[in-house]
A and B are shown apart, each in its own frame.
Chain A
Amino acid sequence: MNQNLKEQLVILPDYFQGHLTLTLIALSLGILLSIPLGIWAAQSQSVKRPLLAVISIIQTFPSVAILALIVALLGGQIGVLPAVIALVLYSILPIARNTVTGLDSVPSDVMEAAKGIGMSSTQVLVKVKLPLAIPVIIAGIRTAAVWTVGLATLSTLVGATSFGNYIFTGLQTRNLVAVTVGSIAAATMAIVLDALIAGVQWIVENRNKSIEPSKYRLIRNSTAGMLLIFCIGTVYSILPKSEPDFVVGGKGFTEQYVIAGLLAAELKESGFDVEQRLGLGTEIVYSATVNNTVDVYLEYTGTVWANRMKNSHNPGRELVMQGVTEFVEQVDGMVNVGALGFQNLYALAMRKDRALELGIETIEDVIPVAHNLVAAGDLEFFGRPEWITLRDTYDIDFSERLTFDAALMYNALDDRQVDLITAYTSDGRVAAFDLKILEDPRNAFLPYDGILVASHSASKNPTFMRVLKSLIGQISDEEMREANRIVDVDGGSIMDAVAYLQSAID
């Protein structure tokens, strides 16, 4: 079997368990919440309209935004809780709406009879209306179940394990096998859950009709069988798992996955039980580390300097590092363990032969010839403050400024269609195309040193800190570039890149 596929399948049980837990908890809570809401709405017209309107509005919120808002409302907590809250919110609409529809569509002659023989209004609801509405309510639960399984993939973004881990990691590291495995797994779970609920629905709808007994028994027994398997799965998935000793966090791009993999591997070697929560947003992983849900992750000094400290000036690499350390430690109570050695910042890059031909080593060497050069930027560079700073600091402009998709930009440089591009210093393609990164003596570009930020609670553990410190200053720009290249250009796995870094460090 394909090595990549094998690697993916090894983690399937974990992701399955995570995805099923999220789905079942969210769906159960959704049902418990939505049916009473639906009953309440069906009782009076003045409740029904506003309530259904509010529920519909929740549904129109983009799911990623809802997740981010919930994390913010929970004070930065990530993991199962915010994911479940979001999923529950999304499951309310189909179930509550179908509950209302089901209760409203009970025939009026049946309602009149129920009242006329002397049932109280509670008895009418419990003995007549609800039983008759159940098939419609189940149809709503069915819709909610399929939605929930699909949306649960987004839980990865807030650090809850799901099949989304396959999909987001796969998209970021161009691993289509992972994306495919994740999608098929989620789709299969949705289909099975849908079939299961459809079976229940069929039984409920046909319990009072003349159906051939053998067919009825067949469907009833197979549904019961599936239900049993599902119950076992549920029990298995909500059994308390052993808490990991440490949680390694990470944002959603290759370098982050690789460094997180390295951290996890090193910590495991020291005997710790480690869990990884990757693909998190910059804001989310930062606040999760502040509140100790994540114990360590790779951050960049420039990101904290500009995004969190709201600075726009650039006092140079040392002072930025110093300022960031103070901020991280004194304001947010975390620990800056130190810089790994590489930077991931914007820089100008050229073909080596072209640089040699023009005698260019630093950006200052570009100034006299700039008006003859064609520069290419990625989709956003020429719109970013970095470009303005670069232009003003060195007082340069190019004969032409072109904008490319990042992948095409490297090819254009390689084909000599452009002379100069804007690259990330740790991008694997800088290594793959053997490019020259121009030095920036006037500090136009903010420094983006890769640092390890550790949570307050984890930093109390001396072994943990010793493992992290052993990595400080160990990874050069070239080595990080090479590790990224293994994944992004060669199509290797994250573990391949981690193994490369481990050998480079030793």
Chain B
Amino acid sequence: MIELQNIKKSFDHGRSFVVSDVSLRVERGQLLGLIGESGSGKTTTLKMINRLEELSSGTILVKNENILLQSPVDLRRSIGYVFQGIGLFPHQTVLNNVAAVPLLLDWDRSLTRLRCEEILEMVGLPIKDFGDRYPSQLSGGQQQRVGVARALAAKQEVLLMDEPFGALDPITRADLQDEFKRIQRNLNLTVIMVTHDMTEALFMADQIAVMKDGEILQIGSPKELLNRPDHDYVKKLIEIPRAKAIRLEELMDSK
């Protein structure tokens, strides 16, 4: 569904590479967690998929089509994107935020409204209670639910998420992670989710790609990563949730 072949990105005409030679494949209905620290190139990789950044070299196929053969605007309208900063339009109601892409695609008004109603219901914000509110009247968790609804309103099958739950408090984050996983399964969405939180990746992803300094160190299922980390950095990354789990058990037993 999404295929990256030897993609590279340089911001200084080839002297250095933020992303150097990344290849990966995400099958339909799969969620790939792209994990790494700041500056590892994970967000740049994500942005190249919907051409918010242009490739320096390599090929990207989305639904078997080369993205460079489509206009950036059309490409972006066909791919859902959940932004790190949420980026809701503060001057528009929840309903209009969600309806943004269908309206750009000239959907019929009543069809758009039906779809928005459906998708808002799905993210737990019934249109009759939330449709007419403005983003400033919502909590952070509710805002990101709207962000997810906006990304899915035009029936996008491919979704890119850039640290979507990073700014939320832990309880809200856990709730949203669960709900999103449910939605993703129900709609059979193909997702690449950038995160720096290994626990999040382990719980949500079907495949995890670990990035460092513009390269992918290892790709595998959560189980494979946990059992056979083939790199010190990967080992270190999965030690963190593991160590936390052990420490929690100790605390509970230490009565």
Contacts and interface: CB of A to CB of B under 8 A. Distances in A.
Query: Is B one of A's binding partners?
Result: yes
Contact of A119 (B75, B88, B104): B104
Contacts of B137: 209-210
Interface in A112-130: 112-120, 123, 127-128
B76 interface: yes
B101 A110 contact: no
A112 B89 contact: no
A208 B91 contact: yes
A485 B138 CA distance: 75
Interface string B80-93: 01011111111111
A118 B73 contact: yes
B89 A116 contact: no
A453 B92 CA distance: 65
Given A113-B83, A118-B101, A209 B136 contact: yes
Contacts of A107: 85, 87
Interface in A425-444: none
Interface string A94-110: 00000000000001111
A117 B100 contact: yes
B52 A118 contact: no
Contact of B101 (A117, A120, A132): A117
B73 A120 contact: yes
Contacts of A116: 50, 52, 76, 81, 83, 87
Contact of B77 (A110, A111, A117, A209): A117
A118 B74 contact: yes
A225 interface: no
Contacts of A209: 134, 136-137
Contacts of A385: none
Contact of A109 (B83, B91, B100, B104): B83
A131 interface: yes
Nearest to A120: B73
Contacts of A120: 73
A113 B84 CA distance: 10
Contacts of A112: 52, 83, 85, 87
Interface in B46-98: 50, 52, 73-78, 81, 83-93
B104 A123 contact: yes
B212 interface: no
Contacts of B77: 117-118
Nearest to B147: A113
B76 A109 contact: no
Size category of the B interface is 20 to 34
A83 to B, nearest CB: 37
A292 B136 CA distance: 61
A208 B76 contact: no
Contacts of A208: 90-93, 134-136
B150 interface: yes
A119 B91 CA distance: 16
A115 B52 CA distance: 8
Interface string A11-38: 0000000000000000000000000000
Nearest to B150: A117
Contacts of A210: 137
A113 to B, nearest CB: 3
B90 A132 contact: yes
Contacts of B90: 110, 132, 208
Contact of A113 (B78, B88, B93, B134): B88
A117 B91 contact: no
Contacts of A114: 87, 89
Given A116-B50, A116-B52, A119-B104, A110 B87 contact: yes
B97 to A, nearest CB: 9
Contacts of A132: 90-91
Nearest to B93: A208
Nearest to B87: A113
Interface in B171-188: none
A290 B85 CA distance: 67
Contacts of B81: 113, 116-117
Contacts of B93: 208
A118 B70 CA distance: 12
B252 to A, nearest CB: 40
A209 B137 CA distance: 7
Interface in B111-138: 134-137
A210 B134 CA distance: 9
Interface string B8-22: 000000000000000
B32 to A, nearest CB: 19
B85 A117 contact: no
A117 B52 contact: no
B63 to A, nearest CB: 16
- B74, B93, B104 — most chain A CB neighbours (10 Å): B104
A118 B83 contact: no
A132 B75 CA distance: 26
Contacts of B84: 109
A110 B150 CA distance: 13
A125 to B, nearest CB: 13
Contacts of A117: 76-77, 81, 100-101, 104, 150-151
A119 B85 contact: no
- B78, B84, B91 — most chain A CB neighbours (10 Å): B91
- A115, A131, A207 — most chain B CB neighbours (10 Å): A115
Contacts of B100: 117
Nearest to A210: B137
A115 B79 CA distance: 12
B142 to A, nearest CB: 14
A246 to B, nearest CB: 55
A206 to B, nearest CB: 10
A128 B91 CA distance: 8
Interface string A194-209: 0000000000000111
Contact of B86 (A109, A118, A123): A109
Nearest to A111: B87
Nearest to A204: B91
Contacts of B104: 117-119, 123
Contact of B73 (A111, A119, A131, A207): A119
Interface of A: 107-120, 123, 127-128, 131-132, 207-210
27 contacts: A107-B85, A109-B84, A109-B85, A110-B90, A112-B52, A112-B83, A113-B88, A115-B76, A116-B50, A116-B52, A116-B76, A116-B81, A116-B83, A116-B87, A117-B76, A117-B81, A117-B150, A117-B151, A118-B75, A118-B77, A118-B78, A119-B104, A120-B73, A123-B104, A132-B91, A208-B90, A208-B135
Given A113-B86, A113-B87, A118-B76, 9 more contacts: A107-B85, A117-B76, A117-B77, A118-B77, A118-B101, A119-B73, A131-B91, A208-B134, A209-B136
Closest 9 CB pairs of A and B: A113-B87, A109-B85, A118-B77, A118-B76, A208-B134, A109-B87, A116-B81, A131-B91, A113-B83
